[in-house]
Amino acid sequence: MEKLQRLLAAQGLYRGRINGRFDWRVEEAVSEFQYDRGIDDQEWGFYGPVTRKALEG
C-alpha cells in the first residue's frame, strides 16, 4: 500500500501520510487518477489490474 501511496503522490494526487493504509484519501486519489485517464476498472476508487497497470506503467 505504501507503493500505491507513493505512486499517487508522484502524480500529485495523494497528499496524505505514507503509512500503508488504504483510507478515504487513497481511494479518492485512485478515483481521480481513474477519472482523469478514463479508466473503467470495476468501480471508482478500486485499485484493480487495469488501474494498477496504468499507474505503474
Q: How many domains does the chain have?
A: 1
d(CA 33, CA 19): 20
Specify the pLDDT at position 40. Answer: 85
Specify the pLDDT at position 56. Answer: 92
d(CA 45, CA 33): 9
CB 35 within 8 A of CB 46: no
Q: pLDDT tens track of the chain, all 57 residues?
A: 999 999 999 999 999 999 999 999 999 999 999 999 999 877 889 899 999 999 998
Structural domain harbouring 24: 2-56
